[in-house]
Chain A
C-alpha cells in the first residue's frame, strides 16, 4: 500500500510537473530568443512584435494538439472506419449500415434510445421545474435542494448499485430486502424481478438517470426563475391570475430558453447513456441502448471496429442538430457583445 501511494504521488508529480515545465520553459525560451529587455530601441520593438506573433501559439498550441488528436482526428477516423470491415483493412461500402438496420439488437437499441429520449429529458425538466418552484417558497428550500441535487455527484455505477439494491428480488413469501418489492408485498402485491421485465425494465433503468439528473435541471431552472422580474409576477397577481396561470403563462414562457438548454443537455447525456445499462442488465432482456451496444462491438469476439464505428456515427448524427443550434446560439451571443 505504502509503495503504491508513493508511486502514485510520483506519477502525479511527473504528469503535472511536465505540464508546468512546458508553459514556463516555452515562454522563457521565447523571451531568451527574442529578448525585449536589455536590448535597445529597434531590436526590442522587433522582438516584441515577434513575441506577439509567436506567443499566442505557445498558449493555444498544447490545447490545439490535444484537441486534434483526441477529438478532431477521431471523428474523421471513425467515419472512415464505419465504411471498413471489422479489422479496418477492407472497404465494405455501406455494409455496416445495412447490417445495423437489419440487426434485431440494433433496432431494439434504437427503439429503446427513442424511449429514453422521450422520457428522461422530459421527466427531469418537469420534475426539476416543479421542485424549483416549490422549494423557492419554503424556509428549508436550500437544504431540500441540496439533498435533491446530491445524486448528481454519484457515479452511474454507484447509482446502479443503489438502485439494484432497491429492485432486489426474493421469491414470493420470503422476506424482501429490496425496498420496492417490500412495499409491493406490504400492500399484498406480487414481488417482481423488475430489471428483467420486458419493455418495462427500460423504465426502471431510466428512473436511475432521472434520479441523478433532476437536481441538475432544478438548479439551472431555479436560477432562471429567480431572474423573472418581481413586478411581472406582482402584476399578474393583481390582474387576478391564479397560481396555475402564473406558472404556465408567466413563468414558463419567461424561462423558455433555459428550459431548452436543460432539455438539450440531458438529451445529449441520454444519447451517451452507457454505464447504467452495462451495470444493470448489460443489454439483456431487451434493454440494450446504442452506447452500450457500441462498447459491446468494440470488444466482442476480438472487436469489430467497423460496426462499432457505425454505431458511434449514428449517435453522432443524432447529436449534430444540437451542435448546430449551440454554435448558432454562441455566435448570436458574441455578436451581441
Chain B
C-alpha cells in the first residue's frame, strides 16, 4: 500500500508485481491438480507437473538378449538390437550397468565393462555389445537407462475415477444430498423470515435473539445428541438410521439460523407501502408472501442458495456422521477422504477425484459470484 498512492512508475509497477505474486500463490496449487489430473499416470510420478509440457525423464531397467543371440564378427562376439524391442521408441539420455550408477555413461558413448567387453547404447535405444570371448550367460546383461518420453495428456484418469473408482456414483449421491438440503431450508426460512419481519405475534423479539445466538453454535454441539436420536428413531421404527431424509433435515437445521437471519434482514427492508396496498386489496399474508415478497427477495434467496449449496456440497463432517460409507450413500467429500487413505500415493486418482469434487462449486461460484459476494457482505456474522 506504500506504493499504491505513490506517483512514480517504480512504485506503481511494484503494486502490479505484488498482486501478481499473490495471485500466483493462490492459483498455482489448484492449477497443479488440474494439470496432473490430465497427465499420463506414469508421467505424474516421473516428473513434477510444472514440467509436464517438457519431456519427462525416468530411469528404467532392461535386459539385453541372452548369449544365444550373439554373432561372431571380425574375431569378436557381438550382441546387437534395440532395448525397446518393438515397444514405442523413447529418447535415451544416459545408461549404465550398475543399479548404483544407472546413468554412468551418456548415450552414444562406448562403455568399457572390463575384460575387453564394451557396450554402446544410442539415444534411439539401439545397442552394440562386443566381447573378445563368446558370451555364455543365458541371462542377458542388465542395463539401466534414463529415458525421456514426450509430454502425454489423457482423459483416462477421468474415465477411471468416474466409472471404476466410484466417484461418478458419489457425484450423484452428493447431488441427492445437496439439492433438497438447499431448497428445503430456503422454503422454511423464507416463511419464518417473513413472519419475523412483517407479522405481529408474541415472542417475536425473543425468537430473533435466539436465532442470532444459534448462528454461532458450533455444529459439534449437535452431533452426539442427534446421532443418538437418529439411532433411537431407527431402532424404534425398525428403519435405517442413516438416510437421505436424515441428512437433509440435519443440513436444514444447521443452515436455518443463517438463512432466517439473512432473509429476515432483507425482507424487513422491503418497502412497507407495497405490502399495505396489497393488504388493502384484500390479499392474505400467504398471498402477499408468495406473490410479492418471494419475487422481490430473489437476490437474497439466490445468495443463500449459493451459500447453502457450497456448504452442503463441501461438507464432510455431517455426511460422515449421518450418512453411510457404502457406495449408495457416500458423498464426494467422504469418498475423497476414503481414497486418501486407500490410494494414498496414486496421485492420478487423487488429483482427478479432487478436481471432480471441486468442479461443481467452481462453476457455481464463477457463474453466480455476484450473488455470493452479496450474501457474504450481508451475513458476515455467521461462522460458517
Contacts and interface: CB of A to CB of B under 8 A. Distances in A.
Q: What 9 pairs between A and B have smallest CB-CB spacing?
A: A70-B253, A268-B383, A155-B314, A63-B192, A59-B195, A77-B225, A153-B365, A15-B180, A74-B225
B49 interface: yes
Given A12-B176, A71-B214, A147-B26, 13 more contacts: A19-B188, A75-B221, A81-B225, A130-B1, A134-B19, A135-B19, A151-B30, A157-B340, A158-B336, A165-B29, A219-B373, A279-B337, A323-B216
B9 interface: no
14 contacts: A8-B175, A15-B244, A55-B199, A70-B256, A71-B222, A72-B210, A131-B19, A131-B22, A155-B314, A156-B316, A177-B45, A243-B4, A312-B218, A329-B381
Interface string A66-94: 11011111110110010000001000000
B46 interface: yes
Interface stretch (B112-120, B124-132, B134-142, B346-354): B346-354
A36 interface: yes
B217 interface: yes
A294 interface: yes
Contact of A60 (B196, B200, B317, B321): B196
B376 A219 contact: yes
A63 B260 contact: yes
A40 interface: no
A84 B222 CA distance: 16
Interface of B: 1-6, 12, 15-16, 18-19, 22-23, 26-30, 32-33, 36, 44-50, 168-169, 172-173, 175-176, 179-180, 183-184, 187-189, 191-192, 194-196, 199-201, 204, 207-229, 244-245, 248-250, 252-254, 256-257, 260, 284-286, 289, 310, 313-317, 320-321, 328, 333, 336-337, 340, 347, 350-351, 353-354, 357-358, 361-362, 364-366, 369, 373, 376-377, 380-384
Given A56-B195, A66-B249, A153 B358 contact: yes
Main secondary structure of the interface of B (DSSP, over half): helix
Contacts of B285: 55, 59
A64 B36 CA distance: 48
Given A161-B350, A219-B377, A223-B377, A144 B18 contact: no
Interface in A121-178: 127, 130-131, 133-138, 140-141, 144, 146-158, 160-166, 168, 175-178
A8 B176 CA distance: 5
A137 B192 contact: no
Contacts of A161: 33, 336, 340, 350-351, 353-354
Q: Which of B18, B194, B310, B337 has the most CB of A within 10 A?
A: B337
